[in-house]
Structure 1
Amino acid sequence: MTDTADLLFRLEQRVQLLEDKLELMNIISAYGPAVDSGESTAVAGLWTEDGVYDVDTGCLSGRAEIEAMVHSAPHQSYIAGGCGHLVGPPHLEIDGDTAVATCHSQLVKHDPETRSYHVARITANRWEFARIDGRWMVTLRTNRIIDGRDSAREILSAGVTAKA
């Protein structure tokens, strides 16, 4: 390979990595606005058809169950009362057509009595992705409440610990 061809190859790889990271961050950052506005189709559309959303209150399997969560009475009460699902910047690891993102998220709810907001929960998040037909999609998202249990720390640690 010539120096120019090698340079172009390395630049192409770097640009692809940057594009992949940007697309993955856009997926993660779309979750909050979509779920807080009740856009159930947009929320579910982030996942593959058989994708899983594993929350410590239970697992949602497939887009239909994820859409149903957005339409559920508890979630609709969050929206009606004023809420924000805030997802922190992710630590991303990409390996070919799969990727993992590790981050924190918060559920912030409005308190009409005090006209203020409070953090209802903070969770550790692991997002797993696959590139399917050229598009990144969530295959599994695992959330665990950060309340002192090992499960949340394990998610955070696994996302930033170098692999042997």
Structure 2
Amino acid sequence: MTASIEQRLQALEDKLEIIDLEATYARSFDERDGERWSSLFTENGVYQSRPVGDAPSATFVQGRLALSRFCTEAVFSGIHFLHLPQLVFDGDRATGRIHLEFHGDYARDAGAPRLAMHGFYDVAYRRVDGRWLIAHRVTSAFSREQSTVLGYPTGSVLPAV
């Protein structure tokens, strides 16, 4: 059965809306705009890290108020590099996987840890009042590198000759 032009157009609009949602997700988190970032989730939306083994998730945040605070008060800052999502739609629900890189640091002081993380998000989306939102997002890291940047010290430690 062939989809009508209206169905095909709606499918394209849905994909483009979620791609824009993901771009806004990355930018608003990187800019520490907790209000905007949390507005991309459903009212009871969840952001969590994937558990490792039997341990509980290191991060589990639910609800827009908690999500806003999590973004605004995060102890790290950095930049997200997201790949295009792989999406599967089922009416007003969709799922996606988005591969990513995140580069950040925990402070701007010399000696502060810097982080490079590679992984993916698994995301459940819901269309609410005609708008696609994130219902549940799980971060899975497949590599995490941490380094310490000491900065370039000025002057010499040797006595003057």
Distance 2:28 2:143 in 1: 26
DSSP 3-state at the match of 1:74: coil
Native 8 Å contact 2:117 2:143 kept in 1: no
SS in 1 for 2:19: helix
Q: Aligned residue pairs: how many? A: 133
Q: Distance in 2 between matches of 1:27 and 1:125?
A: 14
- Of 109, 122, 125, the residue aligned with 1:126 is 122
Where do 1:8-157 residues align within 5 Å?
10-56=4-50, 57-75=58-76, 78=77, 83-109=78-104, 120-147=116-143
Q: Distance in 1 between matches of 2:10 and 2:100?
A: 27
Offset, 1:141: 0.5
Q: Which runs of 4+ in 1 moved over 4 A?
A: 110-113
User: Following TM superposition, by how much is the alpha carbon of 1:112 offset from its aligned partner in structure 2, in angstroms?
Assistant: 7.3
Task: Say if 1:106 and 1:119, in contact at 8 Å, map to a contact too.
Answer: no
1: CA distance, partners of 2:108 / 2:130: 45
> 3-state SS of the aligned residue for 1:17?
helix
Task: Structure 1 unaligned segments of length 5 or more: list them.
Answer: 1-5, 149-164
Unaligned 5+ segments in structure 2 are 51-57, 145-161
Q: Distance in 2 between matches of 1:128 and 1:139?
A: 5
Change (3 A) 1:20 1:73: closer
Instruction: Tell me how far 1:140 sits from its aligned partner.
Output: 0.4
TM-score, with structure 2 as normaliser:
0.74
Give aligned-pair identity as a percent: 27
State the TM-score, normalized to the length of structure 1. 0.72
Which deviates the most, 45-54 or 118-127?
118-127
| Root mean square deviation of aligned Cα | 2.5
- Secondary structure, counterpart of 2:4 in structure 1: helix
- For 1:73 and 1:12, the matched residues in 2 are separated by 43
Distance 1:105 1:14, change over 3 A: same
Larger radius of gyration: 2
Q: Alignment partner of 1:38: what SS?
A: coil
Q: The residue matched to 1:122 in structure 2 has which SS? A: strand
